Chain A
Amino acid sequence: MTDTPLPDEVGEGPPIHLPPSISDVEPVLSVRTPIRLEYDFIPSAAAQQYLRAYASKRILGNRSPVDGAVFVPPRGVDPRNGVVAAEMVDLVDRGHVGSFCVTHLPIPGRKDLPVPYVSAWIHLDGADIGFLGLVAGCAAADVRIGMRVRAVWKPDAELGATAENVLHWEPTGEPDVPVAEAGNRAWALKQAATGGGDGA
């Protein structure tokens, strides 16, 4: 491919005439202007229920009134069907790894996180979607899709209405969930078993 020449109009452009007072000052070619934006997050009703329960080591999910799918964290709706999902269910603090990433890059603001660390989709028992969590308590090389994990909570005195209450998820030592049933694949199997609709 030839490098299509730019029409003359672009070229160098017309000469720029500076006032004498600044004619021998070094030209400014770029300016770095860091910006920040802070905002207050006001949780929805479902989120408030979830975060308050989470502060006492309870994990709440929402059950869809349409097909019974359980969402965690709860949003108060089943977004697939556009309906309110008011029913809250208690979930256990154990599940399995749907899939994961071994990250070798330090994250700004997380100096506490040793590199490499494992971020994983955590699928709680009884929930039908996963969420992101840190896996620790074993070597990164030993983490597997389907590995059973449980929550390691912060000391009670440090708990609050925040997503940070679970320090990480550690292996339970139980047998793995088979890969073919791990993560989101469980939903299709469940639907097939109960004669439900198309889970995809």
Chain B
Amino acid sequence: MGGERTAVLGVGQTHYRSTRGDVSMAGLVREAAMRALADAGLGWSDIDAVVIGKAPDFFEGLMMPELYLADALGCVGKPILRVHTAGSVGGSTALVATSLIQGRIHRRVLTLGFEKQSESNATWALSLPQPFSVSINAGAGGYFSPIMRQYMVRSGAPELVGCMVAFKDRQHALSNPYAHLRQHDLTFDQVVEAPMLWDPIRFSETCPSSDGACAMVLGDEAAGDASPRPVAWVHGTAMRSEANNFPGRDEVNPQASRDCAADVFRQAGISDPRREIDVVEMYVPFSWFEPIWLESLGFAERDRGWRMVEEGATRLDGGDLPVNCSGGVLSSNPIGASGMIRFAEASLQVRGLAGDHQVDGARMALGHAYGGGAQYFAMWVVGADKP
């Protein structure tokens, strides 16, 4: 990884809720941005530029909202850049912001992802009739279900591994005050007995629809050195994409995902991710994507990722590779922010500021996001030490 060393100086999140009716979009993003500035010990005048991302505009039906949000983000007269990469956008947005520091274009950048799902209907926004195709796809769950089924068949995973992931993430969410789903009385049996929506995906194995925003303040090396609070240093950044349908495509373990992971770990000097990474925030909107990505990212051998779930290796409580200590996308899903939350939570872990869901002694963390038909990937590795 070349260029200027980049540090995460501050992180700010809103509380994730099904409806944040108390604020407009502008109020929502401003809340996250102000928390990030407060965490960084900085003010609006310290920020050189803003990089913002959200899911496609037709979700809420407001075109190019970044134009009107510039005011709420203290960005009038400064550069603002919008990033579009579907569900991975929160991650890609953070990486574009990072590149502006690495390239020494700016010294301090505010980056932010948001969604106000209460003002939209994502399931049906993702099921628009297509001229060439019959209208039988019921949202993202309908799209991803066949991929999970392929994984289950080829790996021989026991049927309840998905439920184990969902139960674990909902338990993790109880330690995160910002999480949307905080189901204190939830039992594993309730997860298993929940109705099937997109077989093999149960209602309990899907992400919620959330309102929320997540922001980070990134800075150059001098800004990182001067920060009053611990910072996270960026050790590697990578993005890859591929088409969602072509001859020979491996839908379960896409080439773009493998290439992206190989690139980000190479930059970070990591040869054995399972041993060298302490904690992972991974994009898991449907339960079975945890074992799928564990394999694709190199934490487990092919067809063995489900064993890590079964053995409890990904649990905050006692696991050697805790995954989604924040509760993950399965517990909070403001789509355009969901990728950035993964990146921000990875940063909080290596800064030692993750509170009740802190992994003791975390020094290196992976933030991961995917989008589209599991075809866009964004990843970063952050560490407590300078690269």
Min Cβ gap A177→B in Å is: 13
Tell me if A4 is interfacial: C-beta within 8 Å of chain B: yes
Distance of B147 from chain A, by nearest CB (Å): 7
Which residues of chain B in 61-80 are interfacial with respect to chain A, using CB atoms and an 8 Å cutoff? 61
Q: Return the CB mask of A156-187 against B: 1 if under 8 Å, else 0.
A: 00000001101000000000000100011101
> Is the CB–CB distance between A110 and B35 below 8 Å?
no
Nearest B residue to A180, CB-CB: B154
Chain B nearest CB from A30 CB (Å) reads 6
Does B250 count as interface, using CB distance less than 8 angstroms?
Answer: yes
Q: Which residue of B lies closest to A105 (CB)?
A: B138
Q: Please determine whether B149 and A1 come into contact, CB atoms closer than 8 angstroms.
A: no
A17 at interface, CB cutoff 8 A? no
Task: Kindly name the residue among A5, A129, A133, A140 whose own CB sees the greatest number of chain B CB atoms within 10 A.
Answer: A129
B residues 348-375 touching A (CB-CB < 8 Å)? 348, 353-358
A120 proximal to B (CB < 8 A): yes
Interface residues on chain B, size class: 35 or more
Say yes or no: A145 contacts B247, CB within 8 Å.
no
A103 beta carbon closer than 8 Å to chain B: yes
CB distance from A122 to the nearest CB of B (A): 10
Contact between chains at B248 and A4 (CB < 8 Å):
no
- Chain B residues lying within 8 Å of A43, measured Cβ to Cβ, are 131
Q: How many residues in A have their beta carbons less than 8 Å from beta carbons of B?
A: 59
Q: Which of B133-158 touch A at CB < 8 Å?
A: 133-139, 141-142, 145-147, 149-150, 153-154
Q: Contact between A99 and B147 (Cβ–Cβ < 8 Å)?
A: yes
User: Of B83-91, B96-104, B195-203, B312-320, which stretch is located at the interface?
Assistant: B195-203
Instruction: Contact check, B135 vs A184: say whether CB atoms are below 8 A apart.
Output: no
Q: Is A101 an interface residue (CB 8 A)?
A: yes
Identify 7 new A-B residue pairs, CB closer than 8 A, beyond the known A1-B353, A102-B199, A103-B145: A35-B61, A41-B131, A104-B195, A116-B199, A132-B133, A185-B248, A199-B247
Enumerate chain A interface residues (CB-CB to B < 8 A).
1-7, 9-10, 29-30, 35, 41, 43, 47, 69, 71, 73, 79-80, 98-105, 107-110, 113, 116-117, 119-121, 128-134, 140, 145, 163-164, 166, 179, 183-185, 187-188, 191, 199-200
CB within 8 Å of A: which residues of B?
12, 21, 30-31, 34-35, 37-39, 61, 124, 127, 130-139, 141-142, 145-147, 149-150, 153-154, 176-178, 195-199, 243, 245-251, 255, 348, 353-358
Could you list 27 A-B pairs, sorted by A, with CB under 8 Å?
A1-B348, A1-B353, A1-B354, A6-B38, A7-B38, A41-B131, A47-B131, A79-B246, A98-B146, A99-B149, A101-B141, A101-B146, A101-B198, A102-B196, A102-B198, A103-B197, A105-B142, A107-B127, A107-B138, A116-B196, A117-B136, A128-B247, A129-B246, A133-B134, A163-B131, A188-B248, A200-B255
